[in-house]
Amino acid sequence: MNRIDFQTEPSRYRHWRIDIDAPIAFLTMDVDPQGGLFEGYELKLNSYDLGVDIELYDAVQRLRFEHPEVGAVVIRSAKDGVFCAGANIRMLGKASHGHKVNFCKFTNETRLAIEDATENSRQTFIAAVAGTAAGGGYELAVCAEHIMLVDDRKSAVALPEMPLLAVLPGTGGLTRVTDKRRVRRDLADVFCATEEGVRGRRAVEWRLVDEVVSPSKWDAAVRQRALAFAVKTDRPSEAQGLRLTPLQRRFESGTITYPHLRITRDRGRGIAAFVIEAPTAAVPENPDALDDGFWPLAVARALDDAILHLRTNEPELGLWLLRTEGDPAVVLACDALLEAHPGHWLLREIRHYLKRTLKRLDVTSRSLIALIEQGSCFAGSLAELAFAADRCIMSSGVREGEDRGAAAITLGAANFGWYPMGNGLSRLQTRFYGTPDAVDAARAALGRPLQAAEAEALGLITFAYDEHDWDDEVRIMLEERASFSPDGLTGMEANLRFPGPETMETRIFGRLTAWQNWIFQRPNAVGENGALQRYGSGVQPHYDRNRV
């Protein structure tokens, strides 16, 4: 399969259009039927594949960073009679299991980014549904803060995956209906088992949409509603947006290189080794003078792209080693700038982008091992990588002939709530779930470089090894990990990474996505006589009636 590239920009879009009429942006879906990512299917009726969602993700990012004057975003369709028909069924029928799962995961992350923009960027998303919003089309609408439905006796919202395809609405539909829209569960049961969906006043009464509007008043009502949300924003209308320039990266034999990030791929051992580099330039003092080369933003963009590339295009690299190098003081200085201007719109966006990138790492089905060595800079925001890892191994002492000091980890303000996980807790709170005294002890060490003995005593690392044991212990650990079943590891890691409270987000990834993953392998869905294969053929699918 050709490499899937997650980088794009508006002049290359085939499926979306951004129109700015400040303080409103119109994000218009107009899918090119011939613009599928692969051959063998047409994207009819605004149905989508991964390529459509890559553009949507890019558009959401650009609206947040490049358009501070926008306080409300209206998602709408350019096609008559249809808002969005959801994920393309022919694409799902032809795709590998791994591609389907990664597609659903990325789509979920994009929907969550839209909700995050409403909550944290004060850029409220509104879905203007004219026509049918079915399956993933309704899931796109339901991630908006407010859903408007035209009352023309034809437009409807639906989640028909169960009756039509024998699968689930895999981008959060079930969870958002109950947890976000607060639809009564018996009505949700009817809704999710009804092929034709729900329209008009009933859709409002069941809480599936927020309002219905007559066709004659539609355009004016959409604009009026968007303006009402836009005036509530705190985004600075006169500020200059920050342009996201094309990401600089090089793919070479065995390596991928970005500014501040290099990755070495060892396909023989199934290892991708990350090295994140601290900045070397002085930290700017004026947040209004920043560009997309500012280190925290540049690192977020590089890590974001690398995670998406590796988990989609390099599925056999099942073990990711996380290393850092450089001066911890400069990393902490970047954090200090972010902390000094909590109300600055751009610095707020950068912090939330780092948060979303770390969340993407959390839900990636790879073993994550952090290695803290001499010359590392696991400090502040970069220390989050160590706490995101399944294990964190630290070297103690100084290697013979090494002129750098002993390895250390330095906690900063960023480690105490800047970057919550999907469970709503910081990574330290998650690490020490049920033992808040351990979090307090870590907080008391804030700002001090902690060498191996103290880091181990505080519970910040898994093991510490001296120079005599380091190479052998790390080698044995990696060989052991590689000997385990990848399927078993995926299940184990996903279960262990999210202790604590369950949220809508953890339910989507830990419950809905897990079930969809399983259902996507069942003959009732993907078998020769299953629903995905027989969809549109006029022949009823054949189901194994045994409950499992």
pLDDT in tens, 153-168: 999 999 999 999 999 9
Whether residue 538 has pLDDT greater than 80: yes
Whether residue 1 has pLDDT greater than 60: no
* Confidence at residue 427, expressed as pLDDT on a 0 to 100 scale: 98
Instruction: State how beta strands 409-410 and 449-450 pair.
Output: antiparallel
Query: Do 519 and 167 contact (CB within 8 A), yes or no?
Result: yes
* Confidence at residue 352, expressed as pLDDT on a 0 to 100 scale: 98
Distance of CA 432 to the CA centre of its chain: 24
HSE-up of residue 190 (Cα within 13 Å, Cβ side): 9
Give me the mean pLDDT over the 297-325 stretch.
Answer: 97
Give me the mean pLDDT over the 246-260 stretch.
Answer: 95
3-state secondary structure of 490: helix
Question: Per the structure block, which two tokens stand in for 400?
Answer: 């013979």
Amino acid sitting at position 475: R
Whether residue 401 has pLDDT greater than 80: no
Query: Other CB atoms closer than 10 Å to residue 283's CB: what's the count?
Result: 17
Domain 250-496 has CATH 3.90.226.10: yes
pLDDT band at residue 272 under the 50/70/90 scheme: very high
The whole-chain average pLDDT of the chain stands at: 95
Give me the mean pLDDT over the 87-100 stretch.
Answer: 92
* Confidence at residue 465, expressed as pLDDT on a 0 to 100 scale: 96
- The least confident of 13-27, 276-290, 427-441 is 276-290
Every domain of the chain and the residues it spans:
11-230, 250-496
| DSSP-derived secondary structure for 174-190 | HHIIIIIS---HHHHHH
Best-predicted range by mean pLDDT (36-40, 349-353, 531-535) = 349-353
Question: Per the structure block, which two tokens stand in for 388?
Answer: 């995101």
Give me the mean pLDDT over the 364-388 stretch.
Answer: 97
pTM over 0.75: yes
H-helix or E-strand containing 158?
strand 156-158
Report the percentage of the chain scoring pLDDT > 90: 92
* Confidence at residue 398, expressed as pLDDT on a 0 to 100 scale: 84
Query: Other CB atoms closer than 10 Å to residue 178's CB: what's the count?
Result: 15
Give me the mean pLDDT over the 257-279 stretch.
Answer: 97
Q: How far apart are CA 245 and CA 88, in angstroms?
A: 31
3-state secondary structure of 267: coil
The residues with which 75 forms a beta bridge, in sequence order, are 27, 127
The runs of H, that is alpha helices, within 178-264 are 185-192, 200-205, 218-230
Amino acid sitting at position 152: D
* 11-230: CATH class: alpha beta
Distance of CA 255 to the CA centre of its chain: 24
Choose among 369, 421, 365: nearest CA to 102.
Answer: 365
Amino acid sitting at position 339: E
DSSP 248: P
pLDDT per position as a tens digit, 103-141: 999 999 999 999 999 999 999 999 999 999 999 999 999
